[in-house]
């Protein structure tokens, strides 16, 4: 039937429209930061992302950063963390998908947002980090092991997007990967080509209408086994 995100992401306007809505120039160099849907993620991931941003700005002084608010009550905490870094960050209170579509690159936590970014056709780098204790318990007690953490990579079980997990979350290394995707057209093209394979594997769109039609057909023409 297909993944519901296909239909949802297809409704997002193109890059130029999203940039105009956000007050960005067509030629701006933009990175969107996507650190958290939970407060603990915010505390573990946003400082790393901002440090990556600081390193990138040293190489690309014109760079701009967008940071969608996953929850309005996170604004104060986000502003407090941002104040420690001298980089241009614009908080986006609405239309988070516009902030992704408008970007040249997304630096994101692992989660559903990775698939959204893939379907919106924006290159991305994924990272995730939890407390040392949580990581130890997961690995040593629960035996937690996964080949990939990003849904984009899990779709094909291939390294489509770069991932950094726990001890690998080092700003210099992450910044270097981001820099390559921002400045190397071939790297960007390769990732976008792989995105098309992910998109194909997710199936067709119109999931909502198809599901509704199936339910309607069952109501109108119930099978004997359903009575």
Note the pLDDT tens digit of each residue in 51-78.
999 999 999 999 999 999 988 898 999 9
Q: What is the dihedral of CA 104, 16, 6, 164, to 10 degrees?
A: 10
pLDDT confidence band for 186 (50 / 70 / 90) = very high
Q: Which residues pair with 125 in a beta bridge?
A: 107
pTM to 2 decimals? Answer: 0.84
33-45 per-position pLDDT tens digit: 999 778 888 888 9
Q: Mark residue 36 as left, alpha or beta (left: phi above 0; alpha: psi -120 to 50; beta: remaining).
A: beta
Residue 108: is its pLDDT beyond 80?
A: yes
Q: Which residue from 110, 4, 130, 109 is spatially nearest to 52, judged by alpha carbons?
A: 109
Structure tokens at 86: 């001298």
Q: Are 178 and 125 in contact (CB under 8 A)?
A: yes
Q: Which CATH code, of 3.30.750.24, 3.20.20.70, 3.40.630.10, 3.40.50.2000, is assigned to 8-203?
A: 3.40.50.2000
pLDDT at 3 over 90: no
Residue 54 token pair: 């600081």
> Is the per-residue pLDDT at 227 higher than 70?
no
Q: Is the model's pLDDT at 119 over the cut of 80?
A: yes
**Selected residue with higher pLDDT from 211 and 7:** 7
Structure token pair of residue 117:
């970014």
**Mean per-residue pLDDT for 93-114?**
96
Residue 169 burial by Cβ neighbours in a 10 Å radius (0-12, 13-18, 19+): middle
């Amino acid at each position: 039937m297909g993944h519901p995100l296909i239909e949802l992401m297809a409704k997002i306007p193109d890059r130029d429209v999203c940039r105009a809505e956000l007050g960005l120039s067509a030629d701006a160099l933009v990175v969107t930061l996507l650190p958290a849907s939970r407060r603990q993620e915010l505390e573990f991931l946003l400082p790393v992302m901002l440090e990556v941003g600081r390193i990138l700005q040293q190489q690309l002084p014109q760079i701009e950063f967008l940071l969608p608010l996953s929850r309005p009550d996170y604004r104060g905490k986000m502003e407090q963390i941002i104040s420690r870094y001298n980089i241009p960050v614009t908080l986006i209170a609405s239309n988070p998908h516009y902030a992704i579509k408008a970007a040249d690159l997304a630096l994101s936590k692992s989660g559903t947002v990775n698939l959204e970014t893939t379907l919106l056709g924006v290159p991305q780098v994924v990272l995730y980090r939890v407390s040392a204790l949580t990581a130890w318990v997961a690995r040593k007690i629960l035996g937690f092991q996964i080949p990939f953490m990003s849904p984009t990579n899990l779709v094909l079980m291939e390294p489509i997007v770069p991932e950094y997990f726990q001890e690998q979350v080092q700003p210099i290394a992450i910044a270097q990967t981001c820099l390559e995707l921002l400045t190397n057209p071939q790297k960007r093209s390769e990732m976008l080509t792989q995105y098309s394979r992910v998109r194909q594997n997710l199936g067709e769109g119109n999931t909502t209408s198809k599901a509704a039609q199936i339910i309607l057909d069952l109501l109108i023409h119930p099978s004997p086994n359903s009575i």
